[in-house]
């Protein structure tokens, strides 16, 4: 199989806030099967100690572990890569907790984390903990992750509608994080094909509706798509805004 290019852009912006507790990473990992991409977005918990430390440590640690694990395998089959993501999220959680225990000012720190591992064969493994999201985008938006949040639990019980949840006072309360013992990530898989992949922190959704995100992602080429998403979200978002967009075709949906 020949090498295929995955076009990626990323942008993290403080928005209206004085500091940025989000972090993101785009890593191209060399492998005998072809380049494997690791994309990640983390949103440090506001109101907790060292949110910016937790988010940056999480994306950096995840990359290190994934690189180490990929170096040990032959063909990156889908189930093998799912196992790598499970190990990487679990170990990232452990190391963030260890770092927090070692520094008094970091105790209690935590972060969301969503990541995608994309092989040269277009297998895409998604790991998620918290309420940062992954979307598959063609002519429509398909959410690939389920929020670990109190509001999502109310939606699941039929107490809230999706629209009601957008402005609910518990909107930002997450139920699973990187930085707390035994909190586990959801790991899913799908095929990239001709779709685009969007990873984002909840600050993007705080400032721009999904239908407007769809219009930008399907209408903009790289790297303008990331800049346009952030600029539009900044007009209304009250949070940090972070986006990563990836696709094989750089000029809109084929």
Q: Is the pLDDT of residue 172 over 90?
A: no
Q: Which of 181-185, 228-232, 242-246 shows the lowest mean pLDDT across its residues?
A: 181-185
Please report the pLDDT score of residue 155 as a whole number.
79
Question: Looking at the predicted structure, is the pLDDT value of residue 2 above 80?
Answer: no
Enumerate residues 6+ apart whose C-beta is below 8 A from 91: 61, 65
Residue 115 within a domain:
yes
**Residue 47 reports pLDDT greater than 80:** no
pTM, to two decimals: 0.94
pLDDT band at 1 (very low <50, low <70, confident <90, very high): low
Q: In the prediction, which pLDDT does 162 show?
A: 74
Q: What per-residue confidence (pLDDT) applies to 253?
A: 56
On whether residue 216 sits in a domain, the answer given is yes
**What whole-number distance in Å separates Cα of residue 241 and Cα of residue 99?**
25
Residue 58 lies in a domain: yes
Instruction: Note whether 21 and 56 are within 8 A (CB).
Output: no
Q: Residue 69 to residues 62, 80, 107, 178: CA-CA distances in angstroms?
A: 11, 10, 29, 20
CATH of the domain at 45: 3.60.40.10
User: By residue range, what is the domain housing residue 135?
Assistant: 7-143+175-247
Residue 79, domain member (yes or no):
yes
Answer whether residue 77 is part of any domain.
Answer: yes
Q: Is residue 130 part of a domain?
A: yes
pLDDT at 218 over 50: yes
Instruction: Provide, rounded to the nearest whole percent, the portion of the chain with pLDDT above 70.
Output: 97
Number of domains into which the chain is organized? 1
């Amino acid at each position: 199989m020949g090498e295929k290019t995955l076009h990626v852009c990323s942008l993290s912006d403080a928005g209206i806030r004085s500091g940025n507790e989000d972090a993101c990473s785009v890593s191209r990992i060399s492998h005998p099967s072809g380049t494997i991409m690791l994309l990640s977005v983390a949103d440090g918990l506001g109101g907790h100690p060292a949110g910016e430390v937790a988010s940056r440590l999480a994306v950096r640690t995840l990359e290190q572990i994934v690189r180490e694990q990929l170096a040990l395998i032959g063909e990156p089959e889908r189930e093998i890569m799912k196992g790598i993501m499970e190990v990487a999220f679990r170990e990232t959680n452990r190391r963030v907790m260890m770092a927090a225990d070692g520094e008094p000012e970091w105790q209690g720190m935590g972060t969301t984390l969503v990541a995608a591992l994309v092989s040269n064969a277009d297998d895409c493994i998604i790991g998620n903990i918290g309420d940062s999201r992954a979307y598959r985008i063609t002519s429509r938006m398909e959410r690939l992750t389920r929020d670990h949040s109190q509001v999502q639990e109310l939606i699941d019980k039929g107490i809230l509608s999706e629209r009601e949840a957008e402005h609910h006072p518990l909107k930002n309360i997450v139920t699973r994080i990187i930085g707390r013992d035994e909190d586990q990530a959801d790991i899913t898989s799908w095929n990239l094909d001709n779709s685009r992949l969007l990873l984002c922190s909840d600050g993007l959704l705080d400032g721009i509706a999904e239908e407007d995100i769809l219009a930008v992602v399907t209408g903009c080429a790289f790297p303008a798509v990331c800049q346009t998403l952030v600029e539009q979200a900044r007009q209304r978002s009250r949070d940090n805004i972070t986006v990563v967009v990836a696709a094989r075709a750089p000029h809109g949906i084929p």
